[in-house]
């Protein structure tokens, strides 16, 4: 029998809403043909696809990262402002494409305001310079009568865009990046970019690009150089990961939870050690500002516009990644699902409409039910072996408490392909209040996909239940499912 023990007074830390951030890049049909399609009958007066906006609204995304990704390392932001007919088409070397610049800074801000989400801009620290970066902050946030502020006003935006979050470069540790930098080169560049960007607007929060190249990379050295040279100017340290199932081995895929947890534990330890060494307090938080499942279209010669078609096992992997970030919510204060539309995305469009991919459902579920505090959960039960891991618990679990409503959310991924998992949830130092809302993301089998022909194979099923014993509740988790149980507490 599986058991989950929760003591709501054992709090791990506050959960930042920014854990449910998103990311859009000038890449394939993410923006053009996804978010922005002015010729479409589905577009609003700003050229934004209304069906896409409606789907995005369901995800309740608090912030969106833009414009890349690899794209940003060759981007000139000034190409994407002003009259559309004057905007140049440029070669995009990151994705071997061209970009018309019809969607740029102001269109992105309009998109964010329409979606009620915060913009998070990344500046070009690839082939771009600090002058461009600081000018972009001034164009967006400036209030004085400077030439750049006048330009923004002339472009129709009287009020400042008030962009709070700014990333300095993207994946500068990767040899695939335009303008790859050694640890020392980036730490030095970061310091100088950050100085002038914060001088333009001291209220902005800066994200340093720390680790994306985990194998053969220089994670420790990069972070050390960054903290030693520029620690006081770093508000978040960004790490990226993508997971996948390239060998079609379900057990090995599901066991990647261990790798994710391990990376977070290791990176937290590294930050802790370096902050102690440098006398930096409080600890610099982590931004996982790109994460997702991505392997089918990874490394393909033509990239296939990264139009990954997801299945149910990928949806389980979304739950597993969110569980891990909730368990590490005391250090992970931002995360951005990469990406939102068409390119490795939960929303997939064609000219006539869209389909919600399997991974849409767990993300929506967690985003809409997650509480404000992460809880320390103890659980035990059946185990499995996968890849190099043994003794991995079949259930993957996290829990949150919503302090205002006194609501407990328990998230469980059942990684058994065939077995239901009867489980007792025991509460310490609290009592169930009676009402339980269950939401189950599932489908017929682990390879089930949602397509235009068959859009509802995987989805969320809600059920209203009752916890009739004060401190114990037994529930059977369906095979290959992601479940949220939301309890009212007394």
**Any idea which residues carry the catalytic annotation?**
171, 290
Q: Is 170 in the site for ligand AHR (CB under 6 A)?
A: yes
63-66 and 21-23 as β-strands: parallel, antiparallel, unpaired? parallel
Separation of alpha carbons 160 and 145, rounded Å: 12
Q: Is 289 in the site for ligand AHR (CB under 6 A)?
A: no
Distance of closest approach, residue 280 Cβ to ligand AHR, in angstroms = 26
Q: Where are the alpha helices (DSSP H) in 74-218?
A: 105-115, 130-141, 147-154, 183-200
User: Which segment (9-17, 48-56, 64-72, 452-460) binds ligand AHR by CB under 6 A?
Assistant: 64-72
Q: Which of residues 17-56 bind ligand AHR (CB under 6 A)?
A: 25
- Residue number with CB closer to ligand AHR (8 or 169): 169
Nearest-CB residue to ligand AHR?
A: 69
Q: Is 70 in the site for ligand AHR (CB under 6 A)?
A: yes
Distance of closest approach, residue 19 Cβ to ligand AHR, in angstroms = 18
User: Which segment (68-76, 132-140, 149-157, 256-264) binds ligand AHR by CB under 6 A?
Assistant: 68-76
User: Which segment (317-325, 337-345, 434-442, 480-488) binds ligand AHR by CB under 6 A?
Assistant: 337-345
Q: Quickly list DSSP for 441-476.
A: EE-SSTT-B--SSSTTSSEEEEEEEE--SSSEEEEE
Interhelix angle for 183-200 vs 130-141, to 10°? 30
Kindly list the distances between the CA atom of residue 208 and the CA atoms of 71, 166, 173, in Å, as whole numbers in the listed order: 17, 9, 11
- Residue number with CB closer to ligand AHR (40 or 170): 170
* Of residues 392, 421, 361, the one with CA closest to residue 250: 392
Q: Is 171 in the site for ligand AHR (CB under 6 A)?
A: yes
Burial (CB count <10 Å: 0-12, 13-18, 19+), residue 24: buried
Interacting residue with ligand AHR among 257, 339, 423, 450 (CB under 6 A): 339
Show the tokens assigned to 379: 């659980």
Q: Is 331 in the site for ligand AHR (CB under 6 A)?
A: no
The residue count for binding ligand AHR (CB under 6 A) is 10
Distance of closest approach, residue 36 Cβ to ligand AHR, in angstroms = 18
Q: Is 74 in the site for ligand AHR (CB under 6 A)?
A: no
Phi, psi of 259 (to 5 degrees): -65, -40
Q: Judge contact between 171 and 222, C-beta under 8 A.
A: no
Distance of closest approach, residue 170 Cβ to ligand AHR, in angstroms = 5
Distance of closest approach, residue 207 Cβ to ligand AHR, in angstroms = 13
Largest CA distance in the chain: 68
Q: Is 92 in the site for ligand AHR (CB under 6 A)?
A: no
Q: Judge contact between 75 and 67, C-beta under 8 A.
A: yes
Kindly list the distances between the CA atom of residue 366 and the CA atoms of 101, 326, 357, 358, 448, in Å, as whole numbers in the listed order: 34, 10, 16, 14, 21
Interacting residue with ligand AHR among 189, 210, 338, 486 (CB under 6 A): 338
User: Which segment (62-70, 384-392, 435-443, 448-456) binds ligand AHR by CB under 6 A?
Assistant: 62-70
Show the tokens assigned to 323: 């569980």
Q: Is 173 in the site for ligand AHR (CB under 6 A)?
A: no
Q: Where are the alpha helices (DSSP H) in 281-426?
A: 312-327, 360-369
Q: Mask 234-273, x = binds ligand AHR (CB under 6 A)?
A: ----------------------------------------
User: Which segment (6-14, 322-330, 336-344, 446-454) binds ligand AHR by CB under 6 A?
Assistant: 336-344
Show the tokens assigned to 47: 């050229």
Distance of closest approach, residue 125 Cβ to ligand AHR, in angstroms = 13
Residue 462 C-alpha from the chain's centroid? 25
Distance of closest approach, residue 95 Cβ to ligand AHR, in angstroms = 8
Q: Is 69 in the site for ligand AHR (CB under 6 A)?
A: yes
Q: Is 99 in the site for ligand AHR (CB under 6 A)?
A: no
User: Which segment (63-71, 180-188, 250-258, 411-419) binds ligand AHR by CB under 6 A?
Assistant: 63-71
Three-state SS sequence of 95-131: CCEEECCCCCHHHHHHHHHHHCCEEEEEECCCCCCHH
Q: Is 290 in the site for ligand AHR (CB under 6 A)?
A: yes
Interface contacts to ligand AHR, rule CB under 6 A: 25, 68-70, 170-171, 290, 338-339, 344
């Amino acid at each position: 029998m599986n058991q989950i023990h929760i003591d709501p007074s054992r709090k791990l830390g506050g959960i930042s809403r920014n854990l449910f951030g998103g990311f859009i890049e000038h890449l394939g049909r993410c923006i053009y043909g996804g978010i922005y399609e002015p010729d479409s009958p589905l577009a609003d007066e700003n050229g934004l696809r209304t069906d896409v906006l409606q789907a995005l609204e369901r995800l309740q995304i608090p912030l969106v990262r833009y414009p890349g990704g690899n794209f940003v390392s060759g981007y000139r932001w000034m190409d994407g402002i002003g009259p559309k007919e004057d905007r140049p088409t440029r070669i995009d070397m990151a994705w071997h494409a061209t970009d018309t610049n019809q969607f740029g800074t102001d269109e992105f801000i309009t998109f964010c305001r329409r979606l009620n989400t915060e913009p998070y801009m990344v500046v070009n620290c690839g082939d771009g310079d600090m002058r461009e970066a600081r000018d972009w902050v001034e164009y967006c946030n400036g209030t004085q009568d400077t030439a750049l502020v006048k330009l923004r006003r002339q472009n129709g935006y009287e009020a400042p865009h008030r962009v709070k979050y700014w990333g300095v470069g993207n994946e500068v540790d990767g040899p695939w990046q335009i303008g790859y930098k050694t640890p020392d080169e980036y730490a030095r560049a970061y310091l100088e970019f950050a100085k002038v960007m914060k001088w333009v607007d001291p209220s902005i929060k800066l994200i340093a690009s720390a680790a994306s190249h985990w194998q053969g990379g220089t994670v420790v050295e990069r972070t050390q150089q960054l903290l030693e040279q520029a620690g006081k100017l770093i508000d978040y340290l960004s790490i990226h990961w993508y997971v996948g199932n390239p060998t079609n081995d379900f057990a090995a895929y599901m066991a990647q939870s261990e790798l994710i947890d391990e990376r977070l534990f290791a990176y937290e330890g590294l930050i802790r050690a370096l902050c102690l060494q440098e006398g930096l307090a409080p600890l610099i938080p982590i931004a996982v500002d790109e994460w997702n499942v991505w392997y089918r279209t990874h490394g393909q010669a033509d990239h296939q516009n990264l139009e990954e078609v997801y299945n149910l096992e990928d949806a389980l992997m979304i739950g597993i990644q969110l569980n891990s970030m909730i368990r590490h919510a005391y250090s992970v204060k931002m995360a951005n699902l990469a990406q939102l539309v068409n390119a490795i995305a939960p929303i997939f469009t064609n000219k006539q409409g869209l389909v919600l991919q399997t991974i849409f459902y767990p993300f929506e579920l967690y985003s809409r039910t997650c509480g404000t505090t992460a809880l320390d959960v103890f659980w035990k039960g059946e185990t499995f072996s996968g890849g190099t891991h043994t003794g991995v618990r079949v259930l993957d679990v996290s829990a949150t408490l919503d302090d205002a409503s006194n609501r407990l959310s328990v998230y469980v991924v059942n990684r058994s392909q065939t077995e239901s998992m009867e489980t007792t949830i025991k509460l310490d130092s609290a009592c169930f209040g009676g009402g339980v809302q269950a939401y189950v993301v599932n489908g017929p089998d682990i390879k089930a996909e949602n397509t235009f022909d068959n859009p509802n194979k995987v989805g969320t099923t809600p059920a209203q239940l009752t916890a009739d014993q004060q401190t114990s509740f037994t529930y059977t988790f369906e095979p290959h499912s992601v479940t949220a149980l939301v309890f009212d507490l007394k």
